[in-house]
Amino acid sequence: MKKTFLAITICAFIGFQSHAQINLGNLEKEGGDLLKKAEGDKKGGDNPLSNEEVVKGLKEALQVGTNNSTASASKTDGFFKNPKIFIPFPPEAQKVKDKALELGMKEKVDQFEMNLNRAAEEASKEATKILINAITSMSVEDGFKILKGENNAATQFLRDKTTNDLLTKFRPIVDAAIAKVELTKSWTPIVNTYNRIPFVEKQNPDLGDYVTKKGLEGLFKLIEDEEAKIRKDPAAQVTDLLKKVFGSVMK
């Protein structure tokens, strides 16, 4: 009888010990899970970004970049003295420039190139609205793909989706700017002099088309630089949404 009681006691003790070990194991697991959750909470894990928030953040970044870029480009010398976006003599008319310089028309060539850039600067004053409209209306399905892409991924997406439409909408603004800065007036003596040379192929490029394309190209370059700044520099994340979206990538 004593032996039986002793055996039962030993089994009960072993069972209790095993149960305690299991409970301890569960506690350790639960404690680890809680620790992971706490660490995740610090990183925003308890409030993860939604695709909708990311898309809004990307569009907001492009809007901030557009406002800064057009403000910079539309200033006097915004294009003319910025090597990144300076608009040179039309490449297809390079022979006109070369001959004009050969004939001692450097001052007129310089004036024409300055007016090319003045036209882009003037047009940039009206560019903000059409660019912002393009940004707000464009459809973005996978915001995370753009967010985790290259430093210019959002700008490149905007360029791919809107360029054709922007060219059409930007052209009338450029034509008005060309008239205001009298670009044609500085171009006419150069091209007329060239076209009077015997046997040359007559030249007269579409200056409106050229300035429109180069002007938009310059603005996209500036927006691209602004996007990179927002991605890398917390100080450039000027709204709570930008901090939340782009700050999450930097962690």
Is residue 27 pLDDT above 50, yes or no?
no
Please give the C-alpha separations between residue 124 and each of 104, 108, 168, in angstroms, as whole numbers.
Answer: 33, 24, 15
**Same domain for 111 and 37?**
no
Q: Whole-model pTM?
A: 0.80
Q: List the domain range (segments joined by +) for residue 157.
A: 51-250
- Please compute the mean of the pLDDT values over residues 132-142 and round it to a whole number: 94
pLDDT over 80 at 232, yes or no: yes
Domain check: are 9 and 64 in the same one?
no
For the cut 50, the answer to whether the pLDDT of residue 191 exceeds it is yes
**Distance set, CA 198 to CA 60, 169, 195 (Å):** 56, 39, 8
pLDDT at 44 over 50: no
User: How many Å apart are CA 87 and CA 90, to the nearest integer?
Assistant: 8
Task: Please give the tally of structural domains in the chain.
Answer: 2
Does position 21 have pLDDT exceeding 80, yes or no? no
Average of per-residue pLDDT across 127-140 = 94
**Tokens linked to 167:** 């060219």
155 lies in the same domain as 239: yes
Q: Are residues 6 and 59 in the same domain?
A: no
Burial 188-203 (b: 16+ CB within 10 A, else e): eebbeebeeeeeeeeb
Q: Average pLDDT of the chain?
A: 86
The answer for residues whose C-beta is within 8 angstroms of residue 132's C-beta and 6 or more apart is 63, 66
Per-residue confidence (pLDDT) for residue 250, from 0 to 100: 64
The owner of tokens 């970044």 is 61
pLDDT at 45 exceeding the cut of 80: no
pLDDT of residue 251: 58
Q: Higher confidence at residue 46 or residue 54?
A: 54
